[in-house]
A and B are shown apart, each in its own frame.
Chain A
Amino acid sequence: MTAATAPEAAAASTPGEGREPDRQAPTSRTVRRGLPLVPAVVLLLAFMAGPIVYSLYLAFTNRALRGEGASETSFVGFDNFTQAFASADFWNAVGLTLLFTLVSAIIGQNLLGMALALLMRKANKLVTALTGAVVIGAWILPEVVAAYLWYTFLGDEGSLNQVFTAIGLPPQDWLFSVPILAVSFANIWRGVAFSMLIYTAALAQVSPEVEEAATMDGAGRIRKFVSVTLPIIRRSVATNLMLITLQTLSVFGLIFIMTAGGPGTSSQTLPLYMYEQAFSYGQLGYGTAVALLLLLIGGLASLAYLKMLPEEEKS
């Protein structure tokens, strides 16, 4: 960072000394320096900002794939939103999304990721490397493959029931009896490596001296972790929580392939509800309104993440 700002200061204090081959007026200099940004900005405006702005319009219309809203789109005001807030299916999806995020991200990935990172500091190198390979292996597999693996793992004749039968427990059809837990566990399996990597990086920054001082004072391990280590890495914890929440909110493929939101709507989170409304029922306007709500939640979480990021990353 310091290296990057040094020449700026130098250039400012010695204007026109030839540090840079540039003696044009400040405005044209700004423009010329900004030129390399153009391709990225054009792409982002056209394919990210464009759709977001478009969704602000679409969410207030009755646009549909077929039927009335297809031939002629008309403005319907807040109808889509009032319809959503009055819909039991919508609230079911909201509840399931919260449950899915809570169980799989905030509890599952977060705690297991921390546990793995802590254990890896104590375990021997070989075991650490092996665990890292397996956990990261689960993470790098494409979403569709992970979904398919868990579909077979939890299936009626699948491996989990095989294990259950072997130890004398009654087998069951997990995808049918506890679908939201089934997809939550799949998401923990698939996503825990992210938290593990973030926490491993964070714990590596905690100096052994600090922890040793606590040991000298006679603090037990749990005490030491809660009152010494955790406060030091708290920013990483907050950042990680925010990022995994964002990732989990928008999980689509994993659930779509494992349960397709079913049976019925018992694992239909917001992204799946949104998809069903927009494409199965053809209500593009209504689906966009739901998407906009999801975007809003994501946007708020993203703002919180932005606030937490250390100042030097933003300059």
Chain B
Amino acid sequence: MTAAATSERAPSQPARTTELHPDRGPGAAQRVVTVLSNIALLVISALFAIPLLWVVLAALDPEASLAVKVPSPPSLANFSAIATMETTFRPLLNSLILCGGGTVVTMVCSALAAYPLSRYRSRFKRPFLLTIIFATGLPITAVMIPVYALFVQVNLIDSMGGAILFLAASSLPYAMFLTKTFMDGVPIELEESAWTEGATMLRTLWSIVLPLMRPGIAVVTIFTFVTMWGNFFVPFMLLLSPEKLPAAVSLYTFSSQYGQIAYGQLAAFSLVYSLPVVALYLALGRRLGSGFAITGGVKG
């Protein structure tokens, strides 16, 4: 990794001589920089790809081992072996209920809360926003023990509803902050006429503001869902019954039970479990960057 970090300097040496003659054309030195940058990136990509390559190849190999190996012949036996209710379908369905439910709760709360935060001025607004931004940084890991103890007290342990509400609450600060920032970008003129016609706040939000910020809403929704889908610690702590466990936890249970023998099946299950988030990110495409510009304090 340090080699990669220093390699960016390497291309600069040969280029330095021509920097004194700033011609904008793609000079020879410029081309050297491009080639060296390409090589550096390709090397990093190759290193990054090895673990990814393993999961794809092992999933197609009924005799998979820990090492990267091209299966001969490739087969779907691993996938058919895991295509059972207990191993794959129920955990995925649980993940869908857990993360789908959590995302719906988060998004409804975020959209509602973002409206007054974006549209009105109040002396409570700034302290409130500061608290929300502060909460985005709190390590959720650190509250899991008190949450567990609290859930035991109120009898919410092993309750799907309790886990959904906690997941929703933990992703709410970030989702609210992002939604509010995207909403700030929607011009207010259209709402003004709606107000004069006496439309309620809810109606204005639903039929004017939200349709105008659909790309932003998509970004926040997908971010929220994907984060929940990958979350291991929360369901690991709050859910106990095997029939309620989402894929994140069942993958762990599966690997500790059969991990030493069924590498191929484990790889296949990992792929199936990862597929939804990969698909969602592909759907997001170029919009991915916009959430980052906001978080990073860069004006988008």
- A, B assembled together: yes
Interface residues of A (CB under 8 A from B): 1, 3-8, 18-21, 30, 33-34, 36-37, 39-41, 43-44, 46-48, 50-52, 54-55, 58, 63, 107-108, 111-112, 114-116, 118-120, 122-124, 127-128, 130-131, 134-138, 140-145, 148-150, 152-153, 155-163, 185, 188-189, 194, 197-198, 200-202, 205, 212, 215-216, 218-222, 235-236, 239-240, 242-243, 246, 249-253, 256-257, 271, 274-275, 278, 284, 287-288, 291-292, 294-295, 298-299, 301-303, 305-306, 308-310, 312-315
Q: Select one of B1, B48, B50, B133 contacting A306, CB under 8 A.
A: B133
Determine if A115 and B8 form an interchain contact, defined as CB atoms under 8 angstroms apart.
yes
Determine if A153 and B126 form an interchain contact, defined as CB atoms under 8 angstroms apart.
no
Residue on A nearest B271 in the bound complex, by CB? A145
3 tightest Cβ-Cβ pairs between the two chains A and B: A302-B137, A250-B139, A47-B169
Determine if B70 is an interface residue (Cβ-Cβ < 8 Å).
no
Residues of B within 8 A of A160 (CB): 50
Residues of B within 8 A of A298 (CB): 137-139, 142
Determine if A294 and B139 form an interchain contact, defined as CB atoms under 8 angstroms apart.
yes
Residue on B nearest A224 in the bound complex, by CB? B19
Q: Select one of B20, B112, B147, B231 contacting A47, CB under 8 A.
A: B147
Known pairs A212-B22, A250-B142; list 5 more (Cβ under 8 Å). A112-B1, A143-B232, A157-B66, A243-B295, A284-B148
Bound-state Cα–Cα, A30 to B143, Å: 33
Whole-angstrom distance between the Cβ of A221 and the nearest chain B Cβ: 4
Determine if B76 is an interface residue (Cβ-Cβ < 8 Å).
no
A3 and B67 in contact (CB under 8 A), knowing A142-B229, A202-B298, A222-B9? no
Determine if A140 and B270 form an interchain contact, defined as CB atoms under 8 angstroms apart.
no
Determine if B296 is an interface residue (Cβ-Cβ < 8 Å).
yes
Determine if B96 is an interface residue (Cβ-Cβ < 8 Å).
no
Residues of A within 8 A of B116 (CB): 33-34, 36-37
Q: Select one of B8, B108, B137, B196 contacting A21, CB under 8 A.
A: B196
Which residues of B (92-120) have their CB < 8 Å from a CB of A? Answer: 105, 108-110, 112-113, 115-120
Q: Select one of A5, A124, A315 contacting B126, CB under 8 A.
A: A315
Q: Select one of A58, A157, A246 contacting B65, CB under 8 A.
A: A157
Bound-state Cα–Cα, A249 to B139, Å: 7
Determine if B211 is an interface residue (Cβ-Cβ < 8 Å).
no
Contacts A/B (CB < 8 Å), 11 sampled: A40-B112, A41-B113, A44-B173, A48-B138, A120-B37, A140-B281, A159-B54, A201-B298, A253-B232, A274-B141, A309-B133
Determine if B143 and A52 form an interchain contact, defined as CB atoms under 8 angstroms apart.
yes
Residues of A within 8 A of B188 (CB): 3-4, 6-7
Determine if B16 and A136 form an interchain contact, defined as CB atoms under 8 angstroms apart.
no
Q: For chain A, what secondary structure do more than half of its interface residues adopt (helix, strand, loop), or is it mixed? A: helix
Residues of A within 8 A of B293 (CB): 201
Residues of A within 8 A of B252 (CB): 144, 257
Q: Select one of A131, A163, A216, A278 contacting B145, CB under 8 A.
A: A278
Of A37, A127, A287, A294, the most chain B CB neighbours within 10 A belong to A37
Of B109, B146, B150, B168, the most chain A CB neighbours within 10 A belong to B146
Residues of B within 8 A of A243 (CB): 137, 295-296
Determine if B299 and A205 form an interchain contact, defined as CB atoms under 8 angstroms apart.
yes
Residues of A within 8 A of B150 (CB): 50-51, 54
Determine if A115 and B4 form an interchain contact, defined as CB atoms under 8 angstroms apart.
yes
A55 and B143 in contact (CB under 8 A), knowing A48-B135, A306-B134, A314-B133? yes
Residues of A within 8 A of B187 (CB): 3
Residue on B nearest A26 in the bound complex, by CB? B122
Determine if B296 and A153 form an interchain contact, defined as CB atoms under 8 angstroms apart.
no
Residue on A nearest B122 in the bound complex, by CB? A30
Residues of B within 8 A of A148 (CB): 251, 255, 266, 270
Determine if A215 and B19 form an interchain contact, defined as CB atoms under 8 angstroms apart.
yes
Residues of B within 8 A of A123 (CB): 34, 37-38, 40-41
Residue on A nearest B153 in the bound complex, by CB? A54
Q: Select one of B143, B166, B299 contacting A295, CB under 8 A.
A: B143
Determine if A153 and B297 form an interchain contact, defined as CB atoms under 8 angstroms apart.
no
Residues of A within 8 A of B143 (CB): 48, 51-52, 55, 291, 295
Determine if A291 and B142 form an interchain contact, defined as CB atoms under 8 angstroms apart.
yes
Q: Select one of B49, B119, B137, B165 contacting A4, CB under 8 A.
A: B119
Residues of B within 8 A of A58 (CB): 145-146, 149
A288 and B113 in contact (CB under 8 A), knowing A112-B5, A122-B37? no
Determine if A156 and B66 form an interchain contact, defined as CB atoms under 8 angstroms apart.
yes
Residues of A within 8 A of B42 (CB): 127, 130-131
Whole-angstrom distance between the Cβ of B129 and the nearest chain A Cβ: 6
A115 and B129 in contact (CB under 8 A), knowing A50-B150, A51-B146, A120-B41? no
Q: Select one of A19, A257, A303 contacting B196, CB under 8 A.
A: A19
Residues of B within 8 A of A7 (CB): 119, 188, 192
Whole-angstrom distance between the Cβ of B183 and the nearest chain A Cβ: 8
Bound-state Cα–Cα, A47 to B119, Å: 27
Whole-angstrom distance between the Cβ of A161 and the nearest chain B Cβ: 8
Whole-angstrom distance between the Cβ of A196 and the nearest chain B Cβ: 10
Residues of A within 8 A of B44 (CB): 112, 116, 131, 135
Contact stretch, chosen from B80-88, B213-221, B272-280: B272-280
Bound-state Cα–Cα, A40 to B131, Å: 13
Whole-angstrom distance between the Cβ of B5 and the nearest chain A Cβ: 4
Determine if B71 is an interface residue (Cβ-Cβ < 8 Å).
no
